[in-house]
Structure 1
Amino acid sequence: MNDQLRLCALRADPLSADEVLQALSDPGSGGQVIFLGRVRDHDHGQPVRGLGYQAHPSADARLESVCRAVGARHPEVVLAAVHRTGELAVGEIAVIVGAASAHRDAAFAAARDLIDSLKATVPIWKQQRFTDGSDEWVGLP
């Protein structure tokens, strides 16, 4: 990793917003933006009881590539991104992205770019489990 990319990882263990905030700590940054994605209790009108995330073996490398590309588009920021794998319950944190910059506008723009790019291109798939016993895969190619 370089000085701009502070944290970029897939994790089976619970994620920590404090870890991401610490990674983004920078004396030149007046603005820090952090986005937490949590498992919600519903999707498309169906109650969700939990889900599982599976990552393709290339997902780590792809996540780092996405982080570097976002950094190239936003050279004035420092970045962090972590995503869970494995089984998660409703309310657990599934993904955290963050950006820090001298000014808030740059941090907000970079954080939005990072989460949107990660969700669109990193091969991580979600199996939602509904309370009626059915399930659904989301994000498959």
Structure 2
Amino acid sequence: MSSSDLVSFVAITGDAVLDCATYRSKLDEPPNRPGLCGAVATFEGLTRDDFQGKKVLRLEYEAYAPMAARVMLRICEQAREKWPSLKKLVAAHRTGHVPSGSASIFIGAMSPHRGDAMDAVRYLIDTMKEEVPVWKKERYDDGSGAWKENPDCKAPGKRWAASSAAADDDKRDGREVRLRKE
């Protein structure tokens, strides 16, 4: 696979359901190169139904989609620098109402080696939770709600080295950024 064949796909979507199977299919090997990679690692973030004894009905996500997609793509590029063997990366985040049990984020990585794919997925979810401008509000069955802060993000770079500043360069060298609104 040449460097021009490397794929990073990111999406911010307002779809009623985050179709993880569709995003997973973007990690399939090219038909002309079966056996190219030995690993595909994925992560699906689901809405939990309980927070400290409160029944959670749904999460409500908001994002400034163009900026969120640029930040997600930058984080994918950083992962490629850390793990050069990565062939494909996919990251999709849902906005709007996400009921308990439903997926709000999908992350995937394809690599010849499982360690790189798994490490990249962990890096991508950790860093995206820290840096991507997406906000969530929890809605409870008693009618109340609360804007949520990710407690893992209080010390940025706790697990991973600090990332570089965001670039506003829209030249993507064949990498795809897709934005869809509800």
1:1-141 matches, within 5 Å, as 3-13=5-15, 14-26=17-29, 27=34, 28-57=36-65, 58-77=67-86, 78-139=88-149
The structural deviation recorded for 1:97 is 0.1
> TM-score, normalised on structure 1?
0.90
Question: Which is worse superposed, 107-116 or 15-24?
Answer: 15-24
Distance 1:126 1:4 in 2: 32
**How far apart are the structure 2 equivalents of 1:96 and 1:10?**
11
SS of the residue aligned with 1:100? strand
Q: How many residues align?
A: 140
Q: CA RMSD in A?
A: 1.8
Which structure 2 residue ranges, 5 or more long, are not aligned? 154-182
Task: Report the Cα distance in structure 2 between the residues aligned to 1:30 and 1:36, rounded to whole angstroms.
Answer: 20
Give the TM-score normalised by structure 2.
Answer: 0.71
Larger Rg: 2
Distance 1:132 1:81, change over 3 A: same
Supply the distance in 1 between the matched residues of 2:148 and 2:102 (Cα, whole angstroms): 18
Query: In 2, distance between residues paired with 1:69 and 1:103?
Result: 18
Once the two structures are overlaid, the 10-residue window that deviates more, 51-60 or 106-115, is 51-60
Query: Higher strand fraction: Structure 1 or Structure 2?
Result: 1
